[in-house]
């Protein structure tokens, strides 16, 4: 039974409260309150409201990286042109979450810490090479998002730890995109999601390529081996098809209320192809955009910009 809500005004104070057994952080509350209401996870004895912590707020835009405070809302992410331009996959995800009210209250840190396999920020952060900073009274540590996400509702966060920030490296000539298969436009959870990021060299050939999948495994997962496979190749419809088929290796889909495992499996290559094509369209060298006109791509119209 919830007995107390603390309102610390500094990170040190919050970490002191987190070191007491039976406390849990409260960010926007959009997962935490729903989980309690549907009986999935009862409230703890005490909540630590993170709203007053300046250390967890804001977006720091250095030339070589973007550092996003854990308490940053989707609404704040969407207001930054730099996020839409250099980290488009994350911006795509932020624009999809829930409704305007959810995007205003829900935070990036809360999305990650909740650990849902259907979370919309997970795959974009995986392909963009994001790292998270965690803090407790024992000290600080930095993890790749890949190490942070463990399973449904499970992350690397210890009971006394807070997620402080998420840092995304900036890479020139990178395009990225996140596509979600959904049954309606708003207030929906991913049936299947795919994020893609492509870095092109000055010659227009692929220097790096990453794909991650949402809602088809116990956690958001990166597909292994695609960077090595694509490196040095010119973007082509054939390369996109190979990456889409290879993505199936990462799928561990289950049947649930939203879709059967076999439907999810069938949709993975379709959604991956769309995400990869959009990422290529956004990669700044401009050489790739022509491949849709010259080659087309297996049975799928070119995506809208």
Ligand X SMILES: Cc1cc2nc3c(=O)[nH]c(=O)nc-3n(C[C@H](O)[C@H](O)[C@H](O)COP(=O)(O)OP(=O)(O)OC[C@H]3O[C@@H](n4cnc5c(N)ncnc54)[C@H](O)[C@@H]3O)c2cc1C
Report in angstroms how near the CB of residue 176 gets to ligand X at its nearest: 17
Phi, psi dihedral angles at 146 (to 5 degrees) = -60, -35
Binding mask 184-223 for ligand X (x = CB under 6 A): ---x-x----------------------------------
Of the listed pieces 6-14, 79-87, 101-109, 240-248, which binds ligand X according to CB under 6 A? 101-109
Using the minimum distance from each CB to ligand X, give the nearer residue, 135 or 283. Answer: 135
Residue 176 or 214 with smaller CB distance to ligand X: 214
Among the listed ranges 9-17, 102-110, 253-261, 290-298, the one in contact with ligand X (CB under 6 A) is 102-110
| Residue 25 binds to ligand X (criterion: CB under 6 A) | yes
Q: Between residues 132 and 200, which has the closer beta carbon with respect to ligand X? A: 132
Within 8 A by CB and 6+ apart from 283, the residues are: 173, 174, 175, 198, 199, 200
Q: Distance (Å, rounded) from C-alpha 138 to C-alpha 159?
A: 12
Q: With 0-12 CB in 10 A as exposed, 13-18 as middle and 19+ as buried, what is 179?
A: buried
Is 272 in a helix, a strand, or coil? helix
C-beta closer to ligand X: residue 136 or 236? 136
Q: How many angstroms separate the Cα of 197 from the Cα of each of 91, 102, 256?
A: 13, 26, 29
CA R_g for the chain = 19
Site size with ligand X, rule: CB under 6 A: 31
Q: Give me the least distance between CB of 29 and ligand X, in Å please.
A: 5
Instruction: Pick out residues in 158-177 that bind ligand X (CB under 6 A).
Output: 162-163
Tell me how far, at minimum, the Cβ of 278 lies from ligand X, in Å. 19
Which single residue is written with the structure tokens 């409704």? 99
88 binds ligand X (CB under 6 A): no
Binding segment (CB under 6 A) for ligand X, from list 22-30, 124-132, 244-252, 255-263: 22-30
Stretch binding ligand X (CB under 6 A), from 75-83, 114-122, 224-232, 275-283: 114-122
Among 13, 19, 24, 146, binds ligand X (CB under 6 A): 24
Question: Which run of H or of E encompasses 193?
Answer: strand 192-200
* Three-state SS letters, 240-256: HHHHHHHHHHHCCCCCC
Q: Which of 15, 50, 66, 217 binds ligand X (CB under 6 A)?
A: 50
Is position 34 an interface residue for ligand X (rule: CB under 6 A)?
yes
Question: Min. distance of Cβ 77 from ligand X in angstroms?
Answer: 11
Please report how the helices 261-282 and 237-246 are oriented relative to each other, as an axis angle in degrees rounded to 10. 140
- Residues 132-151, interacting with ligand X (CB under 6 A): none
DSSP 202-271: TTSSEEEEEEEEESSSSS-EEPTTHHHHHTTPPP-HHHHHHHHHHGGGG------SS--HHHHHHHHHHH
Q: Taking CB under 6 A as the rule, does residue 119 contact ligand X?
A: yes
Of 66, 70, 145, 226, which one interacts with ligand X (CB under 6 A)?
70
The percent helix, strand, coil of the chain (3-state, each to 5) is 35, 25, 40
Please state, as a whole number, how many other Cβ atoms lie within 10 Å of the Cβ of residue 107.
Answer: 28
Residue 179 as a binder of ligand X (CB under 6 A): the answer is no
Residues that bind ligand X (CB under 6 A): 24-32, 34, 50, 70, 96-98, 102, 105-107, 109-111, 113-114, 119-120, 157, 162-163, 187, 189
């Amino acid at each position: 039974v919830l007995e107390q809500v603390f309102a610390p005004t500094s990170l040190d104070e919050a970490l002191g409260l987190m070191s007491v057994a039976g406390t849990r952080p409260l960010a926007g509350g959009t997962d935490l309150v729903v989980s309690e209401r549907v009986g999935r996870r009862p409230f703890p004895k005490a909540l630590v409201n993170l709203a007053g912590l300046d250390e967890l707020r804001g977006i720091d835009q250095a030339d070589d990286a973007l550092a996003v405070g854990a308490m940053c809302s989707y609404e704040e992410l969407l207001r930054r042109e730099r996020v839409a331009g250099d980290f488009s996959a994350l911006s795509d995800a932020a624009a999809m979450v829930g409704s305007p009210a959810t995007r205003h209250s829900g935070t990036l840190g809360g999305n990650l810490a909740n650990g849902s396999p259907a979370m919309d920020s997970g795959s974009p952060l995986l392909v963009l090479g994001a790292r998270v900073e965690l803090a407790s009274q024992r000290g600080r540590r930095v993890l790749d998002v890949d190490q942070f996400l463990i399973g449904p509702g499970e992350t690397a966060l210890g009971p006394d730890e807070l997620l402080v920030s998420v840092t995304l490296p900036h890479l020139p000539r990178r395009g990225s995109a996140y596509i979600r298969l959904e049954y309606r436009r708003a207030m929906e959870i991913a049936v299947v999601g795919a994020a893609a990021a492509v870095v092109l060299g000055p010659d227009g050939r692929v220097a790096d390529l990453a794909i991650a999948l949402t809602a088809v495994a116990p956690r958001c997962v990166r597909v292994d081996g695609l960077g090595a496979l694509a490196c040095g190749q010119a973007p082509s419809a054939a390369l996109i098809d190979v990456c889409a088929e290879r993505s199936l290796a990462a799928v561990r889909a289950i049947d649930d209320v939203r879709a059967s495992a076999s439907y999810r499996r069938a949709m993975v290559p379709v959604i991956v192809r769309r995400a990869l094509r959009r990422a290529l369209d956004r990669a700044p060298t401009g050489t790739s955009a022509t491949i849709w006109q010259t080659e087309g791509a297996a049975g799928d119209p070119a995506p809208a910009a």
